[in-house]
Amino acid sequence: VGPEFLSKLGEVVGPQSLVTEPAGKWVYGYDNSRRHAEPAAVAFAASAEQVRRVAALCCQEGVSLVARGRGTGTTGGAVPIGGGVVLALERMNRILGTQADDRLMVVEPGVTNEEVQREAARHGFFWPPDPTSAAFCTIGGNLALNSAGPRAVKYGTVRENVLGLRAVTGAGEEIKTGVYTTKGVVGYDLTRLIVGSEGTLAVITEAVLKLTPLPEAKRTVRAIYSDVSAAARAVARIMARPVTPCALEFMDARAIDLVRLHGAADLPAHAGAMLMIEVDGPGACVDQAAGLVMEAATDEGLIEIAQARTQAQLDELWEARKALSPALRHVAPKKINEDVVVPVSRIPELMAGLEDLARRHAVTIVNFGHAGNGNIHVNLLVDPDDSAQMGRAERCLSDVFDLVLKLRGTLSGEHGVGIEKREFVQREIDPVTLALMGRIKAQFDPRGILNPGKLLPRQAAGAATASPDS
């Protein structure tokens, strides 16, 4: 990237919106994976037209372009490992309109998830995707990673909650995908192709979000089991009943210990696993729904089951659940945090297999997550200064992925592939399918400028594009 390119880039976004000095660029070079790479420049886009012109310029000059929301992603997706331009979308943060009668909201990509929820709530709605990072992460990041949280078990992920997009391809062309309606079957479904594509196919410049009315009431149940397999059996039973919880969260014994540290002192000492089950709906129905779920949650390994009685108890439970990930990072700064998914009926086998792998590799594993989707956060606690332990952890992780795939699961439910899981993708997706994905990528991004080095394994990404891939 030379001065001439930077000067053209400055003409597109304006000199005030171009950062080329090292200190300013540094902070746009990392994400929550704690990886870092320095871009040649950071450009702040103010409009879809600027995004289009930046992409066209990068395509013409063969310069990498990495879209960035707020850098809270955990797999290195926003880290500019190929150098080039980081296109920061945080200033495109307007809510363009809310149409309550049509249950939709149109937004720019830089608005945060929390701002969307606040605006939706003013109209009596919510947007179902609810990552724990909602206060900071952007809708663009949510869409690019198909991010979700506890509510996905009932309301789905981003893919089920977005109607259409405006986006800019790697050739600098603006495209419009999807509809403003809740049905529509004209053309290929590019909306759901771009969602989850991690900024490798197009830069999203606008999204039509599908809203859901806020429930009138909620009930939260805490169920404690003697062991993990009893809790896992209960999850499969709950999910087979007609009342689908709006959250079905799981914690193993080590995660419960962390919750105790967070102040939940009333958890029994011999608790081997815990479920947090939430139901929502009309005020007149939720008590009955909670009763049905409690019945389904009853297993011979059940130690205790109760509804949260006060708002304070409820807040404490959710705070503890949401504090788990940061608390673990405090215990083990270099924890390996995976977000594997298996079919719900295979959770008991997953849990038994993880226990076995932890023993065999002598690695501490802490598990919690969105059990209703079979999406378990598997955390390998490691000390980066202990090279023998790091080696064991890497072998253990490889075995964890094999176990998940053997159970017909998938490597990631919400964090995405990014850099971290890129070379494992071919264990899940066969070569013919991967080659087709490479050709699709080449159609959207003929010079391979968009987020090189992410998502598709090297051969698939390289085969179909003249990628500046590292």
Q: Which two tokens stand for residue 36?
A: 């870092």
Contact flag: residue 141 with ligand FAD (CB under 6 A): yes
- In sign, the C-alpha dihedral spanning 413, 322, 400, 273 is negative
DSSP alpha helices (H): ranges in 240-336? 253-261, 286-297, 311-331
**Would you tell me the crossing angle of helices 253-261 and 311-331 to the nearest 10 degrees?**
110
DSSP character for 302? E
Residues with Cβ within 8 Å of 194's Cβ and at least 6 positions away in sequence, in order, are 143, 165, 167, 177, 201, 202, 204
Of residues 137 and 449, the one with the C-beta less far from ligand FAD: 137
- Per CB under 6 A, the list member of 50, 117, 132, 373 interacting with ligand FAD is 132
Span near ligand FAD by CB under 6 A; candidates 7-15, 72-80, 295-303, 341-349: 72-80
Each residue 24-43 as x (binds ligand FAD by CB under 6 A) or -, in order, gives: -------xx-----------
d(CA 207, CA 181): 13
Q: Which stretch binds ligand FAD (CB under 6 A): 141-149, 174-182, 294-302, 306-314?
A: 141-149
Report the distance separating Cα 35 and Cα 84, nearest Å. 16
Binding status of residue 70 toward ligand FAD by CB under 6 A:
yes
Q: Is 367 in the site for ligand FAD (CB under 6 A)?
A: no
The reply to whether 448 sits near ligand FAD by the rule CB under 6 A is no
For 461, the token pair is 């990404």
Rg (CA), the chain: 23
User: Of 252 and 348, which has the nearer Cβ to ligand FAD?
Assistant: 252
Q: Under the criterion CB under 6 A, does residue 199 sit at the interface with ligand FAD?
A: yes
Yes or no: say if 208 and 178 are a contact pair by the CB < 8 Å rule.
yes
Contacts of 149-152 with C-beta under 8 Å, sequence gap 24+, read 149/370, 149/414, 150/246, 150/247, 150/248, 150/249, 150/278, 150/370, 151/246, 151/247, 152/128, 152/370, 152/373, 152/375, 152/414
State which residue, 288 or 443, has the beta carbon closest to ligand FAD. 443
Q: Is 324 in the site for ligand FAD (CB under 6 A)?
A: no
**C-beta of 149 vs 281, nearer to ligand FAD:** 149
Q: Does 252 bind ligand FAD (CB under 6 A)?
A: no
* DSSP class of 138: B
Residue 314 CB, nearest distance to ligand FAD (Å)? 19
Residue 78 interacting with ligand FAD (CB under 6 A): yes
Q: Is 278 in the site for ligand FAD (CB under 6 A)?
A: no
- Interface with ligand FAD, residue 220, by CB under 6 A: no
Identity of the residue, 302 or 440, whose beta carbon is nearer to ligand FAD in the bound complex: 440
CB-based contact 154:222 (threshold 8 Å): no
Among 115, 119, 198, 280, binds ligand FAD (CB under 6 A): 198
Q: What residues make contact with ligand FAD under the rule CB under 6 A?
A: 31-32, 66-74, 77-78, 89, 109, 131-133, 137-138, 140-142, 144-145, 147-149, 198-199, 203-204, 325-326, 414, 451
